[in-house]
Amino acid sequence: MVLNTKATLRKQFLTDRAGIELRQAHEWHARMLEYFANIPIPANSRILSYRSMPDKNEISMAFFEDFLLNEKIGSEFCYPAVNKEDGSMEAYLDDELLQWETVSFGLVQPASGNKVDPRSVEVVLVPLLAFDRRGHRLGYGKGYFDRYLARCRPNAVKIGFSWFEPMEELPEIHSYDIPLDYCVTPEKLYVF
């Protein structure tokens, strides 16, 4: 019997995600946007988003960012930059000083700009591979977002996006794993 560890689940979900066809992804994005619109996000919010990696078949944040820009007037975005050497992550405001770079695995992130105080972030769009019915997420395994979320205000709204419906329970949940408040899938909006 093969035990489901986070590592084996990551491999499986990466394989499953790679098999999603472009036409299906476009249909799912449209449905997910309808569910996303039901999340109560106030205008004038500071939102941490991220640049999706299309070659990894990640859900495109551009759909959701466009909606927020049009519907949540006055909101502003910031984007994460990870430091692989010390395991940290910082966010940079999307303004005229923001400079981008491509780092390993095709990840596009800020190279420089105006650093954002994590306590000023009100909404976090969180990348993930999968999640469970309690809002725990299966990320990429480095812990960058969990460490950053621990520095955010406690009431920051954490929203995940998944091509897949939730698993019953993720293995290996730790006290430093920060659960989501919402997760959007092609079938439903989950509230935790």
pLDDT digits (tens, 9 = 90+) for 111-144: 999 999 999 999 999 999 999 999 999 988 888 9
Q: How confident is the model at residue 58 (pLDDT cuts 50, 70, 90)?
A: very high
What mean pLDDT, rounded, does the chain reach? 93
Q: How confident is the model at residue 1 (pLDDT cuts 50, 70, 90)?
A: very low
Residue 134 has a pLDDT of 96
| Per-residue pLDDT at 159 exceeds 90 | yes
Q: Determine how many CB atoms are found less than 10 A away from the CB of residue 84.
A: 10
150-165: average pLDDT:
96
The pTM for the full model equals: 0.92
Picking from 161, 146, 131, the residue whose alpha carbon sits closest to that of residue 64 is 161
DSSP code of 120?
G
Query: How confident is the model over 58-81, as a mean pLDDT?
Result: 94
Taken in order 163, 135, 61, 184, the sign of the CA dihedral is: positive
Where exactly are the structural domains of the chain? Answer: 6-191
Is the domain 6-191 a CATH 3.40.50.10420 member?
A: yes
* Residue 98 pLDDT greater than 80, yes or no: yes
